[in-house]
A and B are shown apart, each in its own frame.
Chain A
Amino acid sequence: MSAAVSDAWRPVRRLLAEPLGALGIALVLLVIGGAVLADWLSVYEPSRISPRDRFQGPSWTHLLGTDQLGRDLFSRVLHGGRIALSVALFSTAASLAIGVVLGLIAGYGPRWLDNLMLLLFDSIKSFPTVMLALALVTLFGPSLTAVVVVVVLVNVPGYARIIRTQTLALKESEFVTAAQSMGAGTARVLRVHIMPNVIGPLLILASMDIPVVIAIEAGMSFLGLGVRPPTPSWGAILNDGFTAIRDTPWIVIAGGLPIILTTLGFTFLGETLRDVFDPRLKGRG
């Protein structure tokens, strides 16, 4: 029993043993904690407008100051974390699910389908991310849905390609041929012999993509193409502060710092995860 418990904790201990991993975990826990406990930690309603308090610098009443509408930036940052994390989680999960399915089809299916899907992936990838986002926003209008669709479109071709490449390699491997020679059908080969071997590396890569997703959400909100006001979002805070950057720089600082801390945290964590669990992946962009 105790052996099982210590086995379960071993990966965590290995992560914590790496200074970068420990820092990453600390930052990620900080951000998640802030987002989960946002209602409890913040004294003010994130969207409550208070014209009397506009453009106040950081103080004990307003830890990070207030914006042009007198909203408390600390509360907005905490609640913005909820948006960022939920978008990141949801869209990454969606991209993973779609990417794995498409990748397995491309890798294991007939050759012509593989070529067709590769062309499609390459075409989608040939739109620069922001251009794709801008084009999609004209289609959907500014909204969180648009953000999620952009993230899925940006991530899926990459994930599908990785799964496809590995599936192609595994398809020719002797243990898959051995399973086929025993009479295993396509479903069994994919489920038992291919999936377990391709999913681990992809999960690690996806965890390293979370900062990218957060950047897309914040970037689109910064451009006014993501969440609609008055919903708090880190990008929206940056947008609010940017026009007043000369006189009230704290708004921009309040919007940018959580983005930096979150992306660094997830990246450090993802890097360490990869180094500890899958050293072969090192160097993948």
Chain B
Amino acid sequence: MARRSIVFGLLAFVIVAAMAPALPTWLVSLATVALANALVVLGLIILWRAGLVPFGQALFYAIGAYAVALITRYTGMRDALILIAAGAVLSCLAAILAGFLLARYREIFFSMLSLAMSMILYGVLVKTETLGSTDGFGVEPPTYFGYAPQGHMRLLALFWLALAFCAASALLISLYFRSVAGSLAVPIRDSEIRLEFLGVSVNRLIHLNLVVAGTLAGIGGALVALSIEHVDPNMSYWTTSGGFVFVTILAGAGSVAAAFVGSFAFEFLKSIAYDILPGTWQIFLGTALLITILFLPEGIGSLYGRLRRRKPQSMGAS
């Protein structure tokens, strides 16, 4: 079962990659952003499984994005892989540091502390006029091992790269969900005490999840920075974090796949809303969210599961 779903998943990625050249460019760039956000959401799902909802995940998202932007700006380094790796490493380090604090908190206090952290970064970014303050600054289009694609190819290359990162993350995370540590998320919500008395350090476990989620957010931010070729402090503002939580609820924490389904659904919704209701698109999004919560309590991701009746799956399998 597990092995099959992974094969299917990878197959799905390959097929999407193959049909990319057939898609119109606007859809390719939209999809690239959707994929990047899906990584952030994937991270939030990891945390949500353990009952944690950060209102400040944009902190790591922005760090990833600014890492890319600053490196290209000050070193001229433009290789996509290296830049994204740098974004990942820096956000990972940030998550390790922040984790020492955050991992001690639960529930709303966790949410608020992470909010505070991201808002402090926001304040700092707005204050640094050398980086264009709230206007932010542009990011040079990336190269790939020295190859600098042009025009349509430029979008496709990045899309494929994003897809590759997503496939890799999806694979690793679903393996992680099947591991002992990964499957302890629900137990954390049920009884931390029992876990402690089984010899598990809950705080360290949460710290690990935070680092994984933070790194994913960083990669997402890096990809977005390369995709829209611009960064600004709003990437760290609380409404950005709110948006990611929005998508997470939309997606549901059902599975790795949910992150991608949810993220695409969200970009799709937004694109429609902007298009048909330019003045009142918020009503559209709000209603969509309400409907999801009320009628799909486990998120859009659960639709597939509902379609086919299943005997109870064993814990943690994803």
Q: Does A associate with B in a complex?
A: no
A positions within 8 Å CB-CB of B: none
